[in-house]
Homo-oligomer: A and B are copies of this chain.
Amino acid sequence: MKADDKVVTKTVTSAAAGAKTAKGPAKASDKAAIKSAVKPAAKAHAVINAKWLNKVKWDEHGLVPVIAQEAGSNDVLMFAWMNREALAKTVESGEAVYWSRSRKKLWHKGEESGHVQKVQEIRLDCDEDVILLKVTQDGGIACHTGRHSCFFQKFEGKGDASGEGDWISVEPVLKDPETIYK
């Protein structure tokens, strides 16, 4: 679920919040400073209210499940969640930004590990409640365990009614997580 889910990302409204702290009559130079500070937030505001974001059926928590798939190999790398702001930021930045349910914060994938996901394509399913992200995976590692994909445990069992079976790790660790998250 989380991959390298360790990063706090500023919200799109942070620039606007900063601008509001300016007090008293503004000089021309101050005005320019405020304008440039407000501008990114105003732009983000345009995105956050975009029609295409309204088409997504957000769940009762305002989230949508997201599948990250590697462009080229088509490997499924990971699964995560996005809220409205995360999807807006993903489109704006061209890099995957998720919503961390455990930390209740935006999570710019790879900000700490360097394993950024560059977005090649964004798909929406028939019911408009699941997103598929086609990405280029920096470092070739999506998983916080240092593996290419988070789906490295394979079910091995008889497939009969005996109930016997187990999940076996079948993919190599490409990089020690200790060296990824220093």
Smallest Cβ distance from A92 to chain B, in angstroms? 6
Asked if B79 and A76 make an inter-chain contact with CB atoms under 8 angstroms apart, the answer reads no
Q: Are B130 and A161 in contact (CB under 8 A)?
A: no
Q: A23–B92 Cα gap in the complex (Å)?
A: 68
Query: Is A126 touching B154 in the complex (CB atoms < 8 A)?
Result: no
Residues of B within 8 A of A153 (CB): 123-126, 128
Interface size class of A (residues with CB under 8 A): 35 or more
**Is A34 an interface residue when CB atoms closer than 8 A count as contact?**
no
Query: With A47-B163, A65-B65, A78-B125 in contact, is A157–B1 under 8 Å at CB?
Result: no
CB within 8 A of A125: which of B1, B43, B48, B52?
B1
- Tell me if B128 and A91 are in contact (CB < 8 A): no
Copies of this subunit: 2
CB of A163 within 8 A of CB of B127, answer no
Closest to A154 in B: B123
Contact of A79 with B1 in the complex, beta carbons under 8 Å:
no
Tell me how far the C-beta of A159 lies from the nearest C-beta in chain B, rounded to whole angstroms: 6
Known interface pairs A1-B127, A44-B161, A50-B164; A155-B91 also in contact (CB < 8 Å): yes
Give the residue of B50, B123, B163 whose beta carbon is less than 8 angstroms from that of A165: B50
How many angstroms between the C-alpha atoms of A130 and B3 in the bound complex? 12
Partner of A126, one of B40, B92, B152: B152
